[in-house]
Structure 1
Amino acid sequence: MTVHCKSKNDDLGFHTIMFGQSYVFSFKPIVFPIFIATLFFCSFTWPQDPNLHYLDVYDAKNDDCRDCSWKINVDGGCLNGECRSFNKNIQLMDARA
């Protein structure tokens, strides 16, 4: 699997992850006096399916984990037992970059 994670301010680059391996990154949330604005999203591709699959992996408005550990598969991702499908609106994802 190839993973590419980024936020509006940080592009973490492309990483190839083999089955059973992990990819780890850390960041400090952007905090404004009124709100927290950090959003990280990732795209995923597999050799058998080169289409981009997008997933919000951290949204400060909705996620309160300090150590977010996702498990990704071809259908989406699971965080702490809550599974989400990949985002369907690719234009929205491109606009975030």
Structure 2
Amino acid sequence: MLLNSSSLPMADEKPSLWLSEGWEWVKTNKIDAPLHWRKDSTQQWVYEFGLDGLLPIDPDAPVRHISYYEADAYARWAVVRPPTECEWESAAEGVDPAKGNFRISQGL
């Protein structure tokens, strides 16, 4: 995930990256970044709010806390495809949600 807001599909003003319902959602709700992202004093998107509070956005971490529309637009922008439901369920197999964020809890 890129940190510069001008690199995000939302800021590109490219409706071609979005599903029609997603683009309508962006415009209607004035979406300019994922819900839990926060700007610093220079107005750059550098923080995300998660279960551990406000943390710096890690450009090497998987994108998270985004909507279906954002995930689809990002995948189109990155020229990749989102996982299918079957792939997603397979990847999540064995993850115990009661233990919380396995990436953080396992120290990865």
Instruction: Kindly indicate which of the two structures has a greater share of residues assigned to helix.
Output: 2
**TM more than 0.5:** no
| Greater Rg by CA | 2
- Report the TM-score when normalising by structure 1: 0.27
Which structure: greater strand fraction?
1
Which structure has more RCO (C-alpha within 8 Å, separation ≥ 6)? 2
